[in-house]
Amino acid sequence: MKGLTAKIISLVTASTLLLSSLIGILSISMFQKNAKEQAADNLLLTAKVNAEELDLTLYTIEQSVDSLSQIALTTIADFEKFKTSSAYVTECTEALEAATMTLAQNTKGAMTAYVRYNPEFTEPDSGIFLTKTGDEFEASVPTDFSMYDPDDMEHVGWYYIPVNAGKPVWMDPYMNENINVYMISYVVPLYINGESVGIVGMDIDFSGIQDMVNSIGFCDSGYAYLTNASDTLIVHKDYESGTALSEADSAAAELLGNSEKANTAETVGSQVLVYIPLHNGMKLALTVPGSELFAGSRNMIVKIAIAIIVMLVIVCAAASLVGNQMAKPIRELTHIIQNTAAFNFQSSENGDKLCRLRDETGEMARAVRKMRGELRNMINLIGSSCDNLNGNIDNLLTASTHVNDMTENNSAVTQELSAAMMQTSDGTEKIHDTILHLQDSALFIRQLSQESRQISIDLMEGARKLSNATSDATSQTQDMYEHVKKDTEEAIEHSKAVSHINQLTEAIAGISEQTNLLALNASIEAARAGEAGRGFSVVATEISTLANQTNQTVEDINSTVDEVYTAVADMSKCIDTLMNFINKKILPDYDNFNSVGKQYEENTSAMEESMNQVNTSIQELVEALEQISGTVGDINDMVQESSEGIHRIAQETIGMAEVTGNNSQLAEKSKDTIRELFSVVEKFKI
């Protein structure tokens, strides 16, 4: 078991270690954060300074070429003449040559300078092409456009790429095999009124830019590299120009492809990378291993950890000294407590000295002294209490014997009462079962009455529908009767028109007779005329024949009219008979049928009202039976509860008898306990 000194040392050490760890962690975290931020800022500042220097070099080249393009556009004052006159082209070329020479000589790193015209309206080898030989520029014969196809980017791409783009272009670096120089070109297309005039440009020795990029470093192994606008490497210490950055370092390519990450230091794997976009679209990237960039912060962390360990050792030594001083009085106080545990309440030699201490130990000593005094008083009190308890137990034995007799008598009475209540409970249960059976019968009757009521409702609904249907049929029959009667009267009235046919046939017969007379007269006159009247005789014969046919037709019409008269007369008789039957037989029957349906509906209504009254009465009977059943159930529950209560009383009375019977034994055991207490009190030394 650890001593107090060890505990104090452990506590102080743990507290100091915890506090030191917290302070150390906060210090290390803050320092590491600040150190990383400072290192990242230094890395970013280095990249920005070198990017500005590189940007300035590129900007100087652009200024020279842009100035040459302005001079060229100013020199070509008459563009229409320039397109049609070779002499004017030569004049403009001679005027531009001096300016081109001057700008080329004043541009750092320039290897060539050129002004080329649109081959569509100028000679294919027209223009200016200056190359550097030694320290001076000399005029050379420009490339002949007629020797190459416009799609041949390898040989004439330097012309058609900026023309097609319609804006200044930085060409990717390439090796000029003629002079064995690695060069980069800046070309500006020339336009007048939206029409291409040609280009101006310069080829720059790229080794100067390479040296600038390769000279950039940070820490021990940090280095820089340069990409074009499409993230293709153009300067890198480990990869050739033209290598895609995604093939060399996919993580770095992803970072350079995110414009939001520009001008910020980002961790890419084990490297810390920062890239600065240049004004012409190129990107200068500076990368350094994170272990080198943050090496200073790790050294400081080690120093802080050593300081914490030294401080912890000092605190442990101080805690050991203080712990010994605190533990000494506690050990003496422990000795006094051990004597108390051994029932030794005699005064201690160092008790007064400990009680005079003004710290927590002194308070403990004073509390122990007070406790020992109280224990002495308690021991004396236990002795006197044992005497009193002995006398009380004798009295308890006498009372327990009397209570035991009474509880035995009470138990017998309650058992008899419990049996009587059980019989009562059986009777109420039978009554309750009978009422439940009666209630079920009433519910069944109520269900039947409800079904009968529903049947009467259905009958009444059927009667109502029958009455409505009869009324509708009567109305429709009446309407049909009136309509048929009207149509029949109109038909009979129209049949009277047959009489007009008779008049017409009589008129036709008269005309036929007159026609016969005319035909006869015509025949007579034709006979008189002799040969001249033969044709007229033929006509008269035909007229006579037509008259005879007309008479025959009139006879046929009269015969048909007689038949129509007969049919109409017969139809009129039939219709009169039908109308009389409908009016005298069908319509009265429909009226009787309608009245029967109404009487049937009234009877079913009366039946429904009677069934409603029966249903109401049965409902009241069911409710009354439910109330009676509930009351009997409550009585049954009360009887059962009373029976159970009396039974419990009997059981508890028996239990009381058993308990009171045990009191004597407990009293005897208590006397034995008192004797043991006396023996314990005798052990204390007061």
- Given a cut of 90, is residue 436 above it in pLDDT? no
pLDDT tens, residue by residue, 493-524: 665 555 555 666 666 666 667 666 766 676 67
DSSP conformation letters of 289-354: EHHHHTHHHHHHHHHHHHHHHHHHHHHHHHHHHHHHHHHHHHHHHHHHHHHHHTTB-SPPTTHHHH
pLDDT band of 58, cuts 50, 70, 90:
very high
- Given a cut of 80, is residue 210 above it in pLDDT? yes
Measured between alpha carbons, how far is 101 from 104 in angstroms, rounded to an integer? 5
Tell me the range of 18-27, 92-101, 651-660, 666-675 where mean pLDDT is highest: 92-101
Mean pLDDT is lowest, of 265-274, 315-324, 345-354, 456-465, for: 456-465
pLDDT band of 482, cuts 50, 70, 90:
confident
| pLDDT the model gives residue 371 | 79
Sign of CA dihedral 91, 92, 98, 101: negative
Under 8 Å CB-to-CB from 194, ≥6 apart: which residues? none
| pLDDT the model gives residue 383 | 65
Give me the mean pLDDT over the 181-204 stretch.
94
- Given a cut of 50, is residue 173 above it in pLDDT? yes
Measured between alpha carbons, how far is 51 from 620 in angstroms, rounded to an integer? 106
Q: What is the pTM of this model?
A: 0.44
Measured between alpha carbons, how far is 577 from 583 in angstroms, rounded to an integer? 10
Q: Considering the chain, what is the average pLDDT of its residues?
A: 75
SS3 per-residue string spanning 513-572: HHHHHHHHHHHHHHHHHHHHHHHHHHHHHHHHHHHHHHHHHHHHHHHHHHHHHHHHHHHH
Calculate what percentage of the chain has a pLDDT beyond 70: 50
Grouping H, G, I as helix, E, B as strand and the rest as coil, residue 602 is helix
Give me the mean pLDDT over the 164-191 stretch.
89
CB atoms within 10 A of CB 337: 13
> Which bin fits 107, alpha (ψ -120 to 50), beta or left (φ > 0)?
beta
Nearest to 191 by CA among 76, 287, 54, 291: 76
In the numeric block, the tokens 């036709």 are attached to 508
> Contact 84/121 with Cβ under 8 angstroms?
yes
| pLDDT the model gives residue 364 | 76
Provide the b/e sequence for 453-478 (b: ≥16 CB within 10 Å): beebbebbeebbebbeebbeebeeee
Residue 335, amino acid:
H
| pLDDT the model gives residue 1 | 41
Which value, to the nearest 10 degrees, does the dihedral of the CA atoms of residues 311, 317, 319, 320 take?
160
- Given a cut of 60, is residue 331 above it in pLDDT? yes
| pLDDT the model gives residue 44 | 92
Calculate what percentage of the chain has a pLDDT beyond 90: 29
Measured between alpha carbons, how far is 95 from 107 in angstroms, rounded to an integer? 20
CATH fold label, 76-214: Beta-Lactamase (3.30.450)
- Given a cut of 80, is residue 252 above it in pLDDT? yes
Mean pLDDT is lowest, of 28-37, 91-100, 160-169, 267-276, for: 28-37
What token pair was written down for 49?
Answer: 């300074």
| pLDDT the model gives residue 153 | 86
